[in-house]
Structure 1
Amino acid sequence: MRLTLTKAMTGALPWHCGTFRRQQNRCWPIGTVRPSCAVKTPMAILSTSPCPPATLIRWRLLFTHVLKNSRGKFYIKTLSGRMRVCQQAAHAHRIRGEIVALIQSVPVVSPTQVTPGWITDVLQKNGIDGTVSAFTMENVGTGQLGETRRYFLEYEGAPPANAPNSVVGKFPSDNEVASTTGKEMGFYRSEVMFYREAAHRAEIRTPKVYAAELDPDSHDFVLLFEDLAPAVAGDHMQGCSLEQARLALKEAAKLHAAFWNDTDLMNQDWVYAPEGSQGFYTTELMESSWVHFEKTYAHRMEPEVIQVCDKYIRHHAAWNAPRDMPKCFSHNDFRVDNMLFGGERVAVVDWQTSNFLGSGMDVAYFLGGAFDRETRRANEAQLLHKYHDDLVVQGAEGYS
């Protein structure tokens, strides 16, 4: 069940949602007040309160604004201020003819609470009309802040053509310290909100998400994705090939260009936008950490490495000083471990530390860890030029 606005924004709706008045290509419910919001050019306000009771099944949103920003993109804005387009819909600014305003939620569960019925419910809410009768489960990866499971599905009767053979679920860590960190630092919320609010217009390749839910009280979460196997996760200790690096940086350019200087997104309450280069590691923390690390491991480091680290720590405050635009939404842990390789494109996962940063952070972090020193020095300039070319082609401006 979906509540839609037609291409003309004034056509018949699936059920009565108030009377609309046409005015200068905008439509407003009679008697409403123009909302105050960060996104420019509100297009309509929509109320579902008169919906027949039979259709009101755990709707997450009861009121929304449909908005068009200064760049001509359409979004859904809730009364709480959050931007949203239903995750099952195509990019709203592309389809324009139909904007999906409401989605249904599913319960937040742990790996041991996942049942065939729960997966069936999730899949059916995504238009997959099959019934899961059983599954087998296996662990995936070794995440530091989360637990990941793969579910091999069995169906009652012949499954529909669009039914997946397996899905992947992500949950809070079983480790209490890690779980508390993920909740208190907002890492779990960031990842869930990325998949809800931004993944569908990020252009970068990510797994299709069937469910992205966060419990507002416990801050537990659940994510259910498509299974991208046989693509395999990279190994940070092994690095990657030059061709894999080119593919990864191509995805980075897609992500960054999609949200280049996008203040609409930057001002959302779920997006962390530090003033400096990054916000998780303050100068005070970096200084104290380096004192401990050098004291503990100096005997295992070359003098040249110690000199570089000393110099970096001395200049950290200046490096992390407030920055002006350009800025863009960034993965902020853009390394080989968080990439799935296989096929023509690289898929990027683990968006828990994503935030809105000064341009260049993802690329610098990736190049600094993907190669040995000699390979990086020989190929860094070429890779950077190609990344910049891709960024410009996709619309990024004011960056050289």
Structure 2
Amino acid sequence: MTSTAVPVSGAVPGSIDEVTANWLSEALGADVTRVRAERIAEDTGFSAALYRIHLSGSDDVPETLIVKLPAESLARGGMEMLGGYRRELYFYQHVAPSAPIATPHCYVARMTGSDFVLVLEDLRNWENADHLAGLSLPRAQLCIEQLAGLHTWSAGVDEAVLQEFPCIDCSLTRDLFLPAFAPGWQLYRDHTRRPVPGAVAAFAERFADLAPTALAALSERNTLLHGDIRADNMFFRGGELKVVDFQLSVRGAGAADVAYLVSQGLPAEVRRGHDEELLREYVGQVTGYSFEDAWRHYRLAVALLMYMPVVALLTWDAAPERSRQLCLTLIDRAVAAIEDIDALEEFS
């Protein structure tokens, strides 16, 4: 059960009730005699249903594991349309075993039709970072090191592996997310308590027209990106970090991952004055990527990736209060970063 091989065939449970002792015994190749499940991360995980399962059985059965199933809400349809479940399973099957980015051990990764299941190591003894509170500079630097490892690894991997992940500049982004920006931005303006600089407001009004410039530039490099590298997807223990949630992994310029991490993952007062420093640290850990090119990509991505929390605001009426405040906070941080680094100069 410590092998890096991921069992991919066999029955796929349609709900947590089907994750029984018999199913786990077959899936894990161990004797599970009893299982109890509890729902977790209900206020942070919307694209999937997460459960901690408590196990009894033979000596090689872990005390607890994490089971990830499709969402039980409208988010399931969105994830299926985006191919998010398929992307994550492929990542654990073909990338995680050899890429130098630390992830929880994957025991089972299966998918049949629209049903999928991941059975993962439980990181309950690690600290799950809080995206609302934001990251410290040392933790951001640790994450940048992990991202540099993933990006560098992907430069030498079989092209067929990378092609399983969509390009950052794909029809789904252009046809679905860009048009959704305007109503999401209006919700932000309705609920934020912070003034928006005039230049950023003007950019937001023309976002659907200007964003393709960034998308085209960020597709100039064919690097495997995490795609959603936020604090809620990070678990720390001392100087170690493990990263989760690869449903939005895409191909593109590595500076896009760094831009999303830094501009939205760090509070503005922590980030301010460190953008170039952090990006130089990243560039120093990858090959064939000049700081000039990376800085151009970074600035474009800081402005572009504001769309992620903006579009997420469209769930305002159904979202819990923490999620609402998180989206507003992330947009506040992105707006501040856009102004601080003069990101909009790249669109002129």
Residue 384 of structure 1, CA deviation = 1.8
Partner Cα separation in structure 2 for residue 188 and residue 105 of structure 1:
16
Partner Cα separation in structure 2 for residue 168 and residue 234 of structure 1:
17
Residue 260 of structure 1, CA deviation = 2.0
Residue 318 of structure 1, CA deviation = 1.6
Change (3 A) 1:89 1:155: closer
Partner Cα separation in structure 2 for residue 324 and residue 169 of structure 1:
34
| Paired-residue identity, % | 26
Question: Residues 326 and 399 of structure 1 are in contact (CA less than 8 Å); yes or no, is this contact kept in structure 2?
Answer: no
Residue 263 of structure 1, CA deviation = 5.9
Of 48, 51, 66, which residue of structure 2 is paired with 1:168?
Answer: 66
Partner Cα separation in structure 2 for residue 180 and residue 283 of structure 1:
16
Residue 304 of structure 1, CA deviation = 3.3
Matching residue of 1:141:
41
Report the structure, 1 or 2, having the larger helix content: 2
Matching residue of 2:178:
286
The alignment's TM-score, normalised by the length of structure 1, stands at 0.64
Matching residue of 2:79:
182
Partner Cα separation in structure 2 for residue 328 and residue 315 of structure 1:
23
Matching residue of 1:368:
263
Matched, 1:327 2:222: yes
Matched, 1:108 2:12: yes
Q: What letter corresponds to residue 192 of structure 2 in structure 1?
A: R
Matched, 1:259 2:159: no
Matching residue of 2:334:
none
Question: Residues 260 and 326 of structure 1 are in contact (CA less than 8 Å); yes or no, is this contact kept in structure 2?
Answer: no
Question: Residues 171 and 222 of structure 1 are in contact (CA less than 8 Å); yes or no, is this contact kept in structure 2?
Answer: yes
Q: What letter corresponds to residue 139 of structure 1 in structure 2?
A: R
Question: Residues 67 and 119 of structure 2 are in contact (CA less than 8 Å); yes or no, is this contact kept in structure 1?
Answer: yes
Indicate the SS of the match to 2:173.
Answer: coil
Comparing 327-336 with 316-325, greater Cα deviation is found at: 316-325
Indicate the SS of the match to 1:378.
Answer: coil
Matched, 1:397 2:294: no
Matching residue of 2:95:
198
Partner Cα separation in structure 2 for residue 121 and residue 251 of structure 1:
33
Partner Cα separation in structure 1 for residue 126 and residue 248 of structure 2:
23
Matching residue of 1:316:
211
Matched, 1:131 2:25: no
What are the Cα deviations for residues 339-359 of structure 1, in whole angstroms up to 9, with x where unaligned? 112232211111111111122
| Structure 1 unpaired stretches of 5+ | 1-86, 91-101, 125-129
Comparing 249-258 with 376-385, greater Cα deviation is found at: 376-385
Residue 112 of structure 1, CA deviation = 1.0
Indicate the SS of the match to 2:87.
Answer: helix
Q: List structure 1 segments (4+ residues) > 6 angstroms apart after TM superposition.
A: none
Change (3 A) 1:201 1:310: farther
Q: What letter corresponds to residue 18 of structure 2 in structure 1?
A: Q
Partner Cα separation in structure 2 for residue 295 and residue 165 of structure 1:
44
Matched, 1:271 2:171: no
For the aligned residue pairs, the C-alpha RMSD in angstroms reads: 2.7
Question: Residues 208 and 225 of structure 1 are in contact (CA less than 8 Å); yes or no, is this contact kept in structure 2?
Answer: yes
| Structure 2 unpaired stretches of 5+ | 292-348
Residue 279 of structure 1, CA deviation = 5.7
Indicate the SS of the match to 1:206.
Answer: coil
Equivalences, count: 284
Change (3 A) 1:137 1:375: same
Residue 103 of structure 1, CA deviation = 5.8
Partner Cα separation in structure 2 for residue 376 and residue 299 of structure 1:
24
Matching residue of 2:105:
208
Partner Cα separation in structure 2 for residue 151 and residue 227 of structure 1:
9
Change (3 A) 1:167 1:324: closer
Question: Residues 326 and 398 of structure 1 are in contact (CA less than 8 Å); yes or no, is this contact kept in structure 2?
Answer: no
Question: Residues 154 and 165 of structure 1 are in contact (CA less than 8 Å); yes or no, is this contact kept in structure 2?
Answer: yes
What are the Cα deviations for residues 42-62 of structure 1, in whole angstroms up to 9, with x where unaligned? xxxxxxxxxxxxxxxxxxxxx
Partner Cα separation in structure 2 for residue 141 and residue 306 of structure 1:
37
Question: Residues 283 and 316 of structure 1 are in contact (CA less than 8 Å); yes or no, is this contact kept in structure 2?
Answer: no
Task: From the CA coordinates, give the structure whose radius of gyration is larger.
Answer: 1
Q: What letter corresponds to residue 154 of structure 1 in structure 2?
A: S
Matching residue of 2:251:
356
Partner Cα separation in structure 2 for residue 300 and residue 322 of structure 1:
30
Matched, 1:223 2:106: no
Question: Residues 106 and 211 of structure 1 are in contact (CA less than 8 Å); yes or no, is this contact kept in structure 2?
Answer: no
Matched, 1:153 2:55: yes
Residue 174 of structure 1, CA deviation = 1.5
Change (3 A) 1:302 1:190: same
What are the Cα deviations for residues 72-127 of structure 1, in whole angstroms up to 9, with x where unaligned? xxxxxxxxxxxxxxx9458xxxxxxxxxxx96622101211011121122222xxx
Where do residues 88-99 of structure 1 align in structure 2 (5 Å cutoff)? Answer: 88-89=3-4
Structure with bigger RCO (C-alpha 8 Å, 6+ apart): 2
Question: Residues 246 and 383 of structure 1 are in contact (CA less than 8 Å); yes or no, is this contact kept in structure 2?
Answer: yes
Matching residue of 2:23:
118
Indicate the SS of the match to 1:281.
Answer: helix
Indicate the SS of the match to 2:149.
Answer: helix
